[in-house]
Structure 1
């Protein structure tokens, strides 16, 4: 679902009641534990946690005017989506998450290459997400990103 919001607060305020608490909790968890150097705000219509232009002036290759995205959080029609670009770009990190997930949740993992879909609000693995946030630095993300984009 698309929400027209200029700020994370506006985004959260537009959410259905059953989504406000888990999105707020995830947003606070991410802001508290995200890699040093990231900034939080809105990115591509979602809550975004990105590498600011002051650190990486080139921005994102598809649209170089916004900053380089790293993590995004969105309320979709049937789930909450957590996007982590590091899991898409680094197979070892993806594999680690897939292996750890069943230790933290009773429901089957619903995941794309970088998107984890949470359909059961009561079974979001906050502790696992916190651990994931410490697995990649901004510097490592930029290095991986440049290797894959700037060939």
Structure 2
């Protein structure tokens, strides 16, 4: 689901109350754990955590006007989704996350290439998501992006 919002607060305020609390807790988790250079924006109709043009002035290959995306967070129809591009691009991070999730969480991991879906919002492992957010530096994500995606 896409919400019409210009700011993260506008996005959050449109959510149903039961989703708003979890999304806001995830927002705070990302803001507390992501590298300081990253910014929270509304991107692609979702909350986005990006490397702004002031840090990475090169263009993003999909849309040069858009800052380099790293993580998106969305309230979808049947779940909350975290789209972490590093999970798709960095095998070690993906392997670490799937292993840690299995150790810490009772529910089966519902995950695609870069998307983690939480149908049961009561079972979101906020501490693990915080660790995942801190796993990659801004410089490391730029290097991965330029090597694996942009230069193809």
Specify the alignment match of 2:55 in structure 1.
55
Once the two structures are TM-superposed, the CA of residue 64 in structure 1 deviates from its matched residue by 1.1
What is the match of residue 86 of structure 1? 86
Paired residue for 1:132?
A: 132
2:118 — aligned with what? Answer: 118
Deviates more, 1:67-76 or 1:55-64: 55-64
The answer to whether the aligner puts 1:95 opposite 2:74 as a matched pair is no
The answer on 1:28 being equivalent to 2:10 is: no
The alpha-carbon deviation at position 55 of structure 1 amounts to 1.1
Separation (CA, whole Å) in 2 of partners of 1:24 and 1:126: 11
Query: What RMSD over aligned residues (CA atoms) do the two structures have, in Å?
Result: 0.9
Partner residue in 1 for 2:67: 67
* Structure 1 portions without partners, runs of 5+: none
TM-score by length of 1: 0.97
CA drift at 1:10: 0.7
Deviations 1:103-141 (A, max 9, x none): 222110000111100000110000101111121000000
Query: Distance between the aligned counterparts of 1:85 and 1:124, measured in 2?
Result: 19
Residues in 1 aligned to 2:63 and 2:39: alpha-carbon distance in whole angstroms: 18
How many residues are paired up? 151
Q: Which residue of 2 aligns with 1:150?
A: 151
Question: In 2, Cα distance between the equivalents of 1:59 and 1:109?
Answer: 34
Instruction: Report what 1:39 is aligned to.
Output: 39
Provide the C-alpha distance between the structure 2 equivalents of 1:4 and 1:102, rounded to a whole number of angstroms.
35
Distance 2:15 2:105 in 1: 24
How far apart in 2 are the matches of 1:138 and 1:119? 30
**Gap runs ≥5 in structure 2:** none
